[in-house]
A and B are shown apart, each in its own frame.
Chain A
Amino acid sequence: MNQADVSKLISKLRINVAPRHRNLKNPDGPEGRLLKLRKTVTGLIKHERIELNYNRADEARGYAERLISEAIRYGDCHRTTMELADFWLLEKQLVHKLFKVLVPRFREYPISYTRLLKAPDSPGIAFKRAVLELRGNPYPPLTVDSTRNRALLHNVLLDEAAKAYRAQKVTGVTSEILEKIEREHPSSPAVETQESEVTKSPNISEKSGVLQEKSSEPSYEKT
């Protein structure tokens, strides 16, 4: 087929894009809508974290993602990309930020470049609010990462469970080795005593088993 692969013409975004755009009702019509979005995208690139109405944030997010991914894909020597940056960024010094700061930051990112969080409802504001931010921004995080703090109760329990599992595994391996030794040298009295010890005191077996196994290793090599 001589047709171009359509999926490669436009950069694939890592966010969900709704099939139809939002009109974002405006007295100036579509142009007014675009101006609104340009202001938002400019604000996002400038401040890296902004709070605004959810609809506008979600709409602007797609354009910001597209702008950054084009910048990463084509670089600053590409006329179309430059025009795109010129269109979306109302403050022209941000074009430098886009290519010199954001492109290096996001070049290796496997996930989306922006993050959209729902902001809590506040009394007096009827619209849903949201926080839109660039990833890797210098501000303190908005969400708590509960996996980081190992002192939280569920993490304490999980860590101990992991420890117990590993200990059990070591015991299993030790007993396997002992069985193997017994199979190879069924008449060896030393091994028999080991086995009986193991059955009597499961707590001690782990350590003593390992120690005895190690000390007996060289003698097997000689024989």
Chain B
Amino acid sequence: MPVSVCTLLTRCAIREPTFSRVFRRFSHKYSRNEDVKSRRNEMFTAEKKRQREAVGRVEKIEVKYLGVPQDTTLVMNKNISTPFNCAQHISELVVKRSALALLDGVTLWDMHRPLEAACTLQLLHFKDSDPFHVNKAFWRTCSVVLGAVVTESFKEDIPVFLHSFPSPNVRSGSFVYDIELNVENWVPTKDELRVLTGQMVHFCQQGHKIERLEVSVDLALDMFADNPYKSQQIPDIGSHSLSGDKVILYRVGQHVDISKGPLIGNTNLLGRCSIVAVHLIKDTSKPIYRFQGVALPQGLLLNHFAYGVLENRAKILNPARFIPASDL
């Protein structure tokens, strides 16, 4: 039996009695999801502060910037200054449009990740001649933001557990997040998708900075203790990391998620976006849904017909493989 979903989301413009049943209400002041979120956020802040303090004596590094308006050399703080800070020294245009940094012409680096050594710096944006890596980072960011939006959109009596998202593939036509929702056979209505899309647009427009943090497996396990899937994935991710026991976390607004990265620097680089389909993944013990959407970066404009074509394509179930957490 398909459930009428107008009752699931929290912020619905449409005033139907059914709607109010599922979407979150503002009156739910102390909710489970909220508590978990703020606890994780506080732990992230504390760990970030600890790492910043562990830097100790400030050392200087030379960063050679290559690009518009001209090549320059900047003297920055080791393990403190980020590519974003470098951009701030250069120009407003560069600050606004840069999505990703490229160090020494080989290493992709997040905009808000402190620089660790002297290097050359290029700042990548969506209108580069070959924006392959930026596009990929953009798609990955969309998945993370989708997770953040879905987590805070549902009512409190519907627990939401983020599962994972597959490696970003722009050519598949849609970005994806697999999420456990405690609703059987949910087929979202057009209005529900529209509400979710609205939430996502709203979230992106707030211009959240996307921060990166490398933490130990133990801390990550503590942070994600409530999420059965993530806690299963974390040891595996840690063992595959370079140092052997590190997990890379990202924070968007108050939402913290695990991702290999790199992600783009800010959510306001997301332009037009829509969440277009939710598919139930088969053969799982609990109902896991694949949320799919499509988005364009800020500044790449498309007419409504062409965008409609992209939306329609994004509705088709994304063929990326779903790896159950128990298989890890």
Contacts and interface: CB of A to CB of B under 8 A. Distances in A.
A146 B127 contact: yes
A158 interface: yes
B306 A151 contact: no
Contact of A156 (B135, B306, B309, B313): B135
A156 B170 contact: yes
What's the dominant secondary structure at chain A's contact region? Answer: helix
A146 B131 contact: no
A101 interface: no
Contacts of A6: none
A157 B131 contact: no
Interface in B298-317: 300, 302, 306, 309-310, 313
A140 to B, nearest CB: 14
B306 A153 contact: no
A146 B301 CA distance: 9
Contacts of B132: 151
On chain B, which size bracket covers the interface?
Answer: 20 to 34
A161 interface: yes
B173 interface: yes
B297 interface: yes
B53 interface: no
Interface residues of A, number: 13
Contacts of A164: 173, 313
Contacts of A144: 127
A160 B173 contact: yes
B313 A153 contact: no
B23 interface: no
B176 interface: no
Interface of B: 126-127, 129-132, 135, 138, 170-173, 294, 296-297, 300, 302, 306, 309-310, 313
10 nearest CB pairs, A to B: A161-B313, A153-B135, A154-B300, A160-B171, A157-B310, A154-B302, A151-B130, A161-B309, A156-B170, A154-B296
Given A157-B296, A164-B313, 13 more contacts: A151-B129, A151-B130, A152-B126, A152-B131, A152-B300, A153-B297, A154-B296, A154-B302, A154-B306, A156-B135, A157-B294, A160-B172, A160-B313
